[in-house]
Amino acid sequence: MKAFTYERYGPPENLRMAEVDTPAPNAGEVLVKVLAASVNAADWHVLRGKPLFSRATLGLLRPKHQILGVDVAGQVAAVGGDVTGVTAGDEVYANLLDHGYGGFAEYVAVPVGVLASKPANLSFEEAAAVPMAATTALQGLGRHGDLQPGQQVLINGATGGVGSFAVQLAKASGAEVTGVTSTGNLELVRSLGADHVVDYTTTDFTRGGRRYDLILDTVGNQSVPELRRALAAGGKAAVTGFTSVAGLLGVSLRGGKDVVQVQAHVSSEDLELLSQLIEAGKLRPRIDRRYRFAEIPAAIAYLEQGHARAKVVVAMT
């Protein structure tokens, strides 16, 4: 099969289209013919081996996982042993972050615990946009953050992959939602359902005087004291992103029950919950750019600039 592979940490130009063996599904796995994938920040972090300390798990000198790609949507081509409830031909979507990546390829073996039926009302490209970003938003808001109806919720980075789902999820839960973005994206944030918008080019939300019950910071450009300043009494902040290693460590060292770092892990149960919300019309992926399989390095380079308007997807055919 064809796959994009890389052997050295570095820029997207290090990726090469290569012929590799098609994986065989092990027990508990299915082989998925990948029809669409989406690009995530994880892809460019792992491609570059950054932050450097992440190489302790990614491979000290050379990358352990030579095929990137965590989000896929496609059709089940073969079923491994001990698999029930999934059969060849099923249309599925999945996430491979905790299972060795491998989505930027024609086929990938996927454990059944991280896949679900593709939402019936989405194309394969739209479905591939969902798993990583929407699960991170769901877990950041709901598990780390304890999202409740009527809360004042702020999403920093409201137009990114995670943020664009977070605005919709918070709104669907009955919260009053504020989205932080740049001037050109204010309308997009309103169209996602935000009640209020903050333009970060003119206003620092941590100094505006308004207090929030829940902050999902997908950018990671605020310190723990700054986040605390914007929290209402008893409020919580969940941080998914980081702009510096010091910032990342700051949340781990200076955070606590009120300010936590999110570590998202995709599961079939959460994908099924997201499918229900999508099929009920409460959640819809927004697609910024569509690329073809051969253009995956360009798709990663675009996302790495940090200004994608929601999701960047790849059609594999």
Residues 221-227: contacts with CB under 8 Å, at least 24 apart? 221/156, 221/247, 222/156, 223/247, 223/250, 223/254, 224/250, 224/251, 224/254, 224/255, 224/259, 225/254, 227/259
By CB neighbour count within 10 A (0-12 exposed, 13-18 middle, 19+ buried), where does 317 fall? exposed
- CB nearer to ligand NAP: give 5 or 40: 40
Q: By CB under 6 A, which span of 57-65, 75-83, 145-153, 240-248 interacts with ligand NAP? A: 240-248
Residue 40 touches ligand NAP, criterion: CB under 6 A:
yes
- CB nearer to ligand NAP: give 263 or 317: 263
- Which residue type is seen at 155? I
Least separation in angstroms between CB 255 and ligand NAP: 13
Q: Site for ligand NAP (CB under 6 A): which residue of 32, 41, 83, 169?
A: 41
Binding positions for ligand NAP, 162-221, rule CB under 6 A: 162-163, 180-182, 185, 200, 218-221
Q: By CB under 6 A, which span of 1-9, 48-56, 222-230, 237-245 interacts with ligand NAP? A: 237-245
Q: Site for ligand NAP (CB under 6 A): which residue of 5, 95, 152, 159?
A: 159
Residue 240 touches ligand NAP, criterion: CB under 6 A:
yes
- Distant-in-sequence, close-in-space partners of 209: CB < 8 Å, separation ≥ 6: none
Q: By CB under 6 A, which span of 67-75, 85-93, 108-116, 259-267 interacts with ligand NAP? A: 259-267
For residues 224 and 254, is the Cβ–Cβ distance under 8 A? yes
Residue 54 touches ligand NAP, criterion: CB under 6 A:
no
Least separation in angstroms between CB 33 and ligand NAP: 25
- CB nearer to ligand NAP: give 106 or 304: 304
Binding positions for ligand NAP, 94-133, rule CB under 6 A: 132-133
CB count, 10 Å around CB of 78? Answer: 17
Cα–Cα dist 4/20, whole Å: 9
Rounded to the nearest 5°, which phi and psi values hold at 183?
Answer: -50, -45
Tell me which residue of 133, 169, 132 sits closest to 148, measured CA to CA: 169
Cα–Cα dist 298/296, whole Å: 5
Tell me which residue of 38, 50, 263 sits closest to 164, measured CA to CA: 38
Q: By CB under 6 A, which span of 5-13, 15-23, 57-65, 260-268 interacts with ligand NAP? A: 260-268
Q: Which residue is nearest to ligand NAP (CB)?
A: 160
Cα–Cα dist 194/158, whole Å: 9
For binding to ligand NAP (CB under 6 A), which residues are involved? 40-41, 132-133, 136, 156-157, 159-163, 180-182, 185, 200, 218-221, 240-242, 262-264, 303, 306-309
